Amino acid sequence: MKLHVRNISGGVAGEIDVRSDVFGVPENSALLHQVVVAHLANKRQGTVKTKTRAEVSGGGAKPRPQKHTGRARAGTIRSPIWVGGGRAFGPSPRSYKQRTPKKMRRLAIVSVLSDKARQGSLVIVDKLDLTDGKTRSIKSILKALEINSSTLIVTDGPNPNVIRAARNLKKVKTLPAQVLNTIDLLNKSHLVITTDAVRKVEENWGGVYKGEVVDSEIDGNLPQSKPAELTTTEEEVLYLSDEQLISALVLQIDPPESSSERVPDEDIGDQLDEVSEE
């Protein structure tokens, strides 16, 4: 399949042949959900800890006699119902790690890449050679590409000027193609990627998907929605007047006994009222 390539000035710089098993994969929502949940779970430290009544210092002696004081029975001042006592059923250090198969992680990445290509959120640029690390350089590039929302910029390897220029922009993140992941792809509305990074992505994740691909030409990296082909009947309906359309609806609801019988125009409203009452 082919995708359009643009330059940093916003103009069209040609086309690029990309692999359909990377940029033409059907969306798999269940797979994406599982991979994202595991990814977020693996980021949790799991080091939170509270003390139980056995771990809080003090409370070794019974605070009062068991009987004849008129007060509640208590065996320790470190009970969870006492101020300064232990925590009942509190958190303890644990591991939240979830193991996700390598193939599932790879399929999730190509699924998001394909979805962004179909939606027109994927912008391929020929190169991102910045002479300086000024923030205005990245802002001018994004403005030329007509991108106003959050953006993920992917390059072939770390680019110091791009990293320095984009780090002050809150909604812009830069990544080398080698560490591309599902979370960052989903968190950003647009993906700006260089042609060299596209080849690196195809090298890393190409051939993972073995099913049927959605091999559709994407024109101008914009979502194209072709209207469905109309049948002869549907085309005729588009050119009917209001009275003719009402007549056709009445004939479908209550067709005449013979094809030669015609419904008078003055009886159309009465028939519709009768149908609505029934």
Distance CA 4, CA 126 (A): 10
pLDDT in tens, 63-91: 999 999 999 999 999 999 999 999 999 99
What is the Cα–Cα distance from 112 to 193, expressed in whole angstroms?
A: 14
pLDDT tens, position by position, for the chain (278 residues)? Answer: 899 999 998 898 899 999 999 999 999 999 999 999 999 999 999 999 999 999 999 999 999 999 999 999 999 999 999 999 999 999 999 999 999 999 999 999 999 999 999 999 999 999 898 888 899 999 999 999 999 999 999 999 888 999 999 999 999 999 999 999 999 999 999 999 999 999 999 999 998 888 888 765 444 444 443 434 444 444 444 455 666 666 766 665 655 554 444 545 555 455 545 545 55
Distance CA 169, CA 176 (A): 17
Q: Are residues 271 and 165 in the same domain?
A: no
N residues, the chain: 278
Flag whether 56 is in a domain: no
This prediction's pTM: 0.69
- Domain assignment present for 8: yes
Q: What is the pLDDT of residue 235?
A: 45
Q: Is residue 48 part of a domain?
A: no
| 201 plus 236 within the same structural domain | no
Enter the tokens of residue 174: 């830069």
Question: Could you report the per-residue pLDDT of 142-174, keeping only the tens digit for each?
Answer: 999 999 999 999 999 888 999 999 999 999 999
Domain boundary, last residue among 187, 205, 223:
205
SS3 193: strand
Contact 202, 101 (CB under 8 A): no
The total number of structural domains in the chain stands at 2
Of 189, 205, 221, the last residue of a domain is 205
In a domain, 237, yes or no: yes
Q: Which range marks the domain in which residue 244 is found?
A: 232-277
End of a domain among 190, 205, 220?
205
